[in-house]
């Protein structure tokens, strides 16, 4: 019996290495595939994405040959959740087998627009770095080391830019699979933006709220992976 593949997509500035410890948290029935994006990790020398469509096309090409042989699911945190959402629709367009489940973490429903939303990529570098550190998940060391700073800052700013310039396609049909939403209680996401995910699926929308801010995932990993495991086991 083939293992169910769990494709994992990182937050802005994140790399595949973030998920390096995940496999040991799952049993042998789930195989973690952490997807490396351009400009980081083993793809550090590749040029940055021009826009979010470019990112989705790249990710789609990297997984398309892996999704026909066995069941699979998608997980993403923050930018990774948007990747998972957009990738699902790309898979639908190409008439390929659909994922069993989508796990979307730390991201507001895409159809709900906030006029007070902060546009990070337009901030000057110093303000941008301060705001990113306050979000959590990014060590000051990355900005204090000159070499790391020069490598990491352009990647991070470009990730924010393509996310913030991404437009919601109101014509896209809702997801025809169950989805699970993870959110931090202290994150800057309104309750209506969380509940709004219910409009994006024809099936069940499970919402789990954890203590913490935008990177609540770091302190609740055992519980989150347990929920993922139980959700996927119920479908096999």
Give the whole-angstrom CA distance, residue 128 versus residue 134: 10
- All structural domains of the chain with their residue ranges: 4-233
Give the whole-angstrom CA distance, residue 116 versus residue 82: 20
Q: Is CATH 1.10.10.10 the classification given to domain 4-233?
A: no
The whole-number pLDDT of residue 199 equals 97
- Cα 50 to Cα 58, 64, 115, 133, 140: the distances in Å are 11, 21, 25, 25, 27
Task: Look at the alpha carbons of 186, 190, 191, 193 in this order and tell me if their dihedral is positive or negative.
Answer: negative
The whole-number pLDDT of residue 236 equals 57
**Residue 185 C-beta-side C-alpha neighbours within 13 Å:** 6
78 is catalytic: yes
β-bridge mates for residue 5, sequence order: 31, 72
What's the whole-model pTM score?
A: 0.96
**Residue 7 C-beta-side C-alpha neighbours within 13 Å:** 28
The whole-number pLDDT of residue 158 equals 97
Active-site residue, selected from the candidate residues 15, 34, 78, 231: 78
Could you list the pLDDT tens digit for every one of the 236 residues in the chain? 578 999 999 999 999 999 999 999 998 889 999 999 999 999 999 999 999 999 999 999 999 999 977 899 999 999 999 999 999 999 999 999 999 999 999 999 999 988 888 899 999 999 999 999 988 878 787 888 888 889 899 999 999 999 999 999 999 999 999 999 999 999 999 999 999 999 999 999 999 999 999 999 999 999 999 999 999 987 65
């Amino acid at each position: 019996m083939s293992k169910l593949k769990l494709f994992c997509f990182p937050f802005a500035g994140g790399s595949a290495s973030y998920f390096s410890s995940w496999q040991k948290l799952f049993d042998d029935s789930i195989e973690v595939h952490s997807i490396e994006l351009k400009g980081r990790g083993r793809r550090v020398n590749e040029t940055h994405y021009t826009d979010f469509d470019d990112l989705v096309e790249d990710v789609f090409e990297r997984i398309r040959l892996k999704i026909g042989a066995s069941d699979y699911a998608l997980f993403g945190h923050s930018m990774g959740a948007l990747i998972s959402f957009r990738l699902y629709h790309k898979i639908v367009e190409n008439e390929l087998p659909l994922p069993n489940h989508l796990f979307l973490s730390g991201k507001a429903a895409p159809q709900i627009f906030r006029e007070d939303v902060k546009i990070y990529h337009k901030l000057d570098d110093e303000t941008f770095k301060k705001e990113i550190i306050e979000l959590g998940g990014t060590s000051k060391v990355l900005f204090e080391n000159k070499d790391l700073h020069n490598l990491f800052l352009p990647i991070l700013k470009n990730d924010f830019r393509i996310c913030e310039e991404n437009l919601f396609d109101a014509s896209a049909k809702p997801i025809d699979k169950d989805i699970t939403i993870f959110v931090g209680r202290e994150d800057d996401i309104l309750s209506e933006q969380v509940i709004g995910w219910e409009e994006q699926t024809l099936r069940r929308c499970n919402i789990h709220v954890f203590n913490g801010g935008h990177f609540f995932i770091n302190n609740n990993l055992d519980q989150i992976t347990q929920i993922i495991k139980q959700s996927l086991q119920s479908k096999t």
